[in-house]
């Protein structure tokens, strides 16, 4: 009945909402007194409405998705605020520096990534992250790429070593995978980190630089079996998981994606059945905690599907396959745009435009205010000359804010005046 009332009272509700939230200032007395008084009887619900119906209609956020609520914030944001939200910044200092403060307060960064050298102790790390959030107008995505094992261990100064993905796979225990996911969430959230750029769901077809010890198996089925409970435990406890490295071709190369553009030369059918299989499974998982809050794309060439563009800059991979075929509508973040597979051909600002147009939402890579401002100016230039549309920017920012609402980083309510 409440849904029917919502449909019937749509015109009055829209007027009330616009008056209450989209236009600052005092509300007209008629709206405050009874926003539904003039609404005619509809075919399903006859006026007068019951108190319960009126209360439900007035609590608009109860009827709106995170994306619908986020779009209301986007409509009120300046261009600078929107473009800043698209960027997860890096910083070169090991403390809350003036440069980091500038990126957060003046350049409106949407997120910050921390590395091992910036997290020396529990108290220092928690303090620095608290300052970041205190100075941010819109709450930040605070990330690190903590995987465990001998290579990607950002929190070793604080928590010591933890098992790698390969260790979890070799344990043969999905309960152990979930246990480690819960521990990961506890450890990161205690510091104020709300995003882990993990788990790595590449399928290790060859023991390459970017997969050794970092993946959960040598078949798509094994990766799904162990990475799934690990991710579900993380997200059940409130930590945003980010599966990587889409579209998965790093599992079939021995090349270092930080230094060159790797290639995966397998067939279309092989890629769909193996490299892409974990992404399709997790995006459509019946368990909502196994659906990734974020996905990280990367620079790998898979000529059988797109012979021209690296995965993270490929419209075929990012939009046609991930969005349209698999149905993913969450946040996609690029791998660091200074990695040489990208940087050898495009500067960071050019790559940022290409990445957004391909279907990414968030841009990882600029270090410090100068690089961040250069990227923002590059995006503005692309908007001015038509290489980038404001609709694409709005779509990306909406997804980012919706994610922040979903994980309770910002309130899921309409913006106040």
- CATH code, domain with 380: 3.20.20.300
Count of structural domains within the chain: 1
Q: Tell me if 201 is assigned to some domain.
A: yes
What local confidence, expressed as pLDDT, does residue 257 receive?
79
Q: Residue 9: CB partners within 8 Å, gap ≥ 6?
A: 36, 39, 42, 45, 49, 57
What local confidence, expressed as pLDDT, does residue 395 receive?
98
Q: Tell me if 222 is assigned to some domain.
A: yes
What local confidence, expressed as pLDDT, does residue 36 receive?
34
Distance between CA 177 and CA 108 in Å, rounded? 36
Compute the 3-state secondary structure of the chain and give helix, strand, coil in percent, each to the nearest 5.
Answer: 50, 10, 40
Interior/surface letters 278-315, b for 16+ CB within 10 angstroms, e for the rest: bbbbbbebeeebbbbbbbbbbbbbbeebbeebbbbbbe
Distance between CA 60 and CA 300 in Å, rounded? 44
What local confidence, expressed as pLDDT, does residue 207 receive?
87
What local confidence, expressed as pLDDT, does residue 46 receive?
44
Distance between CA 329 and CA 253 in Å, rounded? 29
Q: Tell me if 416 is assigned to some domain.
A: no
Query: pLDDT per position in the chain (417 positions), as tens?
Result: 334 333 333 333 333 333 333 333 333 333 323 333 333 333 333 455 566 655 554 565 666 899 999 999 999 999 999 999 999 999 999 999 999 999 999 999 999 999 999 999 999 999 999 999 999 999 999 999 999 998 899 999 999 999 999 999 999 999 999 999 999 999 999 999 999 999 999 999 998 877 889 999 999 999 999 999 999 999 999 999 999 999 998 888 878 878 889 999 999 999 999 999 999 999 999 999 999 999 999 999 999 999 999 999 999 999 999 999 999 999 999 999 999 999 999 999 999 999 999 999 999 999 999 999 999 999 999 999 999 999 999 999 999 999 999 999 999 999 885
Q: Tell me if 413 is assigned to some domain.
A: no
Q: Tell me if 311 is assigned to some domain.
A: yes
With residue 72 as reference, give the H or E element that holds it: helix 66-76
What local confidence, expressed as pLDDT, does residue 241 receive?
98
Q: Which domain holds residue 92?
A: 72-407
Shortest CA distance to 179 belongs to which of 221, 237, 218? 237
What local confidence, expressed as pLDDT, does residue 71 receive?
97
Q: Tell me if 285 is assigned to some domain.
A: yes
Q: Tell me if 47 is assigned to some domain.
A: no
Place of tokens 């928590």: 159
The pTM (predicted TM-score) of the whole model is 0.86
Q: Tell me if 40 is assigned to some domain.
A: no
- 363, β-bridge pairs: 87
């Amino acid at each position: 009945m409440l849904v029917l009332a919502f449909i019937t009272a749509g015109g009055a509700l829209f007027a009330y909402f616009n008056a209450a939230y989209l236009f600052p200032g005092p509300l007209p007395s008629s709206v405050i007194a009874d926003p539904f008084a003039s609404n005619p009887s509809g075919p399903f619900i006859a006026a007068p409405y019951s108190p319960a119906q009126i209360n439900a209609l007035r609590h608009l956020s109860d009827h709106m998705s995170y994306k619908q609520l986020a779009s209301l914030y986007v409509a009120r944001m300046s261009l600078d605020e929107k473009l800043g939200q698209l960027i997860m910044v890096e910083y070169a200092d090991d403390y809350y520096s003036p440069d980091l403060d500038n990126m957060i307060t003046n350049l409106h960064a949407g997120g910050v990534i921390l590395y091992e050298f910036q997290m020396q102790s529990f108290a220092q790390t928690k303090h620095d992250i608290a300052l970041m959030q205190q100075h941010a107008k819109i709450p930040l995505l605070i990330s690190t790429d903590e995987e465990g094992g001998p290579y990607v261990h950002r929190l070793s100064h604080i928590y010591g070593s933890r098992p790698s993905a390969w260790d979890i796979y070799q344990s043969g225990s999905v309960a152990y995978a979930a246990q480690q996911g819960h521990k990961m969430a506890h450890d990161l959230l205690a510091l104020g980190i709300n995003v882990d750029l993990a788990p790595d769901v590449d399928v290790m077809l060859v023991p390459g630089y970017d997969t050794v010890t970092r993946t959960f198996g040598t078949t798509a089925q094994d990766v799904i079996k162990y990475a799934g409970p690990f991710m579900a435990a993380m997200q059940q406890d409130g930590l945003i998981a980010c599966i990587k490295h889409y579209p998965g071709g790093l599992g079939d190369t021995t090349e270092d994606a930080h230094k060159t553009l790797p290639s995966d030369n397998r067939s279309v059918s092989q890629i769909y059945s193996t490299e892409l299989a974990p992404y399709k499974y997790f995006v459509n998982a019946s368990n909502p905690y196994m659906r990734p809050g974020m996905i990280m794309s990367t620079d790998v060439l898979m000529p059988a599907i797109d012979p021209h563009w690296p995965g993270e800059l490929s419209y075929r991979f990012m939009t046609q396959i991930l969005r349209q075929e698999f149905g993913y509508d969450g946040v996609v973040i690029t791998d660091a745009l200074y990695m040489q597979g990208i940087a050898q051909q495009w500067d960071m600002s050019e790559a940022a435009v290409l990445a957004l147009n391909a279907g990414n939402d968030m841009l990882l890579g600029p270090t410090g205010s100068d690089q961040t401002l250069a990227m923002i100016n590059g995006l503005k230039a692309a908007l001015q000359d038509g290489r980038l549309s404001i609709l694409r920017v709005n779509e990306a920012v909406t997804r980012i804010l919706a994610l922040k609402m979903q994980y309770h980083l910002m309130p899921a309510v309409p913006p106040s005046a």
